[in-house]
Amino acid sequence: MINVSKVRFNQIYVPILIEQLFMMLMNQADVMMLSAYDTKAIAVSGISTQMMTLLTFLITIVHVGVSIRLVHQKEHEVHAIKSEVYHSVTLNIVLSIGVCIVAMMSYHWILLFMQVPSSIFDLTYQFGMIFLVGFTMTTTQMLVGSLLRILGLAHIAAMTTVGINIINVILNGSILFIFTNWFESPILAVAIATLFSRFIGLMYGSYHLIKKYQPRLSYFKLKRYMSHKVIVLGLPGAGEQISYNVAQTIMTAFLIIMGTEVIAAKSLTVALSNLSFCVAMAYSLASQIYLGKFIARRKFNILSHHVYRGLRQNILRSVLIMSIVVIGFVIAGRYITSGEEVYHLTLFYLCLFVGLEPIRAMNNYMVDLLNVAGDVRYPVLINIVTTWCLLIPLSYLTAFTLEWGYIGMILMNMIEEGIRFILMMRRWQQGIWKSKLTQIGVRLDV
């Protein structure tokens, strides 16, 4: 008999929430500081961050796949956990190096395709290349954090992320506002400082992972069967995020045509709205880990109530957080923007995000539950269809033909997210995911 414990759920949720919030700070601290430093600087950071996010999600194929397998192995194959953990580290490193090499060879052409303005082209290229040098280290640090959360060490993952961000904020603030004259290019120094803080986090997280699960050399050997299972599970699951970020990259190219001020306002809007998104992501991840054990043990009768309750909480939480963000920006927005036009654009975009973020939160929640149940292909299929047949064409139409600019793109994003949520909810209610558990690749007899 398995009891549903709110205390146990919070023991998973609270550390993940802390980690996600500080991870948001890690990803957006550069944007916030660079916004106050210079408008061109935030445009450089925004473009580079979008590209790095897309590349990172290519590697989260491994992270998603191994996370799903570990949720079920904890219930059925405890003896296989060590091998699974360190095999995933090797697979992550190999794939990251491959992606990094291809990205370095094509990054110049990608920026040309995106029509990055000549005034910031060289700086954007250099900023991105610095991140690419540390790309494998960054993805490995992310994987270690995912493993710690899944394996019951969420508090260590949270402490790691908190430490990373404290170091990162101190270093970046010092570079941009105290020791500015010490560096030929403070903007590039910020990128290097960010990688340094992540390296420290990787060392700390790896220490605790090795302490609990001592490795053997044989665990690091790539095995075709295990790699295949991880990729089969992770490719569709991460593909949902990959498709989303490819779309965001294309829409970033749309934004570049609109001008530096729009890019800066969009980057700042995303940075602030990520507060809501990270809270929703933490809840979804905790639900995936906690409710995943009931799915693994086929205790389907207790799921329905908690799924609907989770949806309601996601809606209310997202609306509340975004409302607070809007009010906070009205009060303090002028202190973190470099111009009046950027301030007013950001404020208007944030108001629209009050409607967008709750829908995104519900989508992520349902996709995570379908993924942990092994129903990994349907979400990414729907995402690809709605993104490329609806979001991209209509965003271009509203942004340029109707001349609504980024406002039109946000509205189309809301419509596309709404359609996807309806389809995800219908899939869950139909119960088709129950027949997909055998695809996970671990013993499921209980």
Residues in the chain, overall count: 446
The predicted pLDDT at position 446 comes to 43
Q: Do residues 162 and 22 touch, judged by C-beta distance below 8 A?
A: yes
Q: Cα separation of 390 and 42, whole Å?
A: 29
Per-residue pLDDT of the chain (446 residues; tens, 9 = 90+): 445 567 778 888 888 888 777 767 666 666 667 666 676 777 777 777 777 877 887 888 888 888 888 877 776 667 778 888 999 999 999 999 999 999 899 888 888 887 777 877 888 888 889 889 999 999 999 999 989 988 888 889 888 888 888 888 888 788 877 877 787 777 788 888 888 999 999 999 999 999 988 888 888 888 888 888 888 888 776 666 667 767 777 887 888 788 888 888 888 898 888 889 888 888 988 888 887 777 777 777 777 778 888 899 889 999 999 999 999 999 988 887 777 888 999 999 999 999 999 999 999 899 888 887 778 788 888 988 998 899 999 999 999 999 898 999 999 999 999 999 999 999 988 888 877 766 665 555 54
* 3-class SS of residue 60: helix
Helices (H), 1-38: 6-37
All structural domains of the chain with their residue ranges: 6-436
Q: What is the pTM of this model?
A: 0.73
Sign of CA pseudo-dihedral 330, 334, 337, 338: positive
Q: Cα separation of 113 and 250, whole Å?
A: 10
Return all residues near 7 (Cβ < 8 A) that are at least 6 apart.
none
Short-list 181, 168, 110, CA closest to 134: 168
Return all residues near 313 (Cβ < 8 A) that are at least 6 apart.
283
Sign of CA pseudo-dihedral 273, 159, 281, 13: negative
The predicted pLDDT at position 266 comes to 87
The predicted pLDDT at position 137 comes to 93
The predicted pLDDT at position 17 comes to 85
Residue 55: C-alpha distances to residues 28, 102, 141, 196, 434 (Å) = 17, 10, 15, 19, 32
Short-list 369, 135, 143, 362, CA closest to 237: 369
Q: Cα separation of 16 and 281, whole Å?
A: 9
What H or E segment, with its residue span, contains residue 177?
Answer: helix 154-177
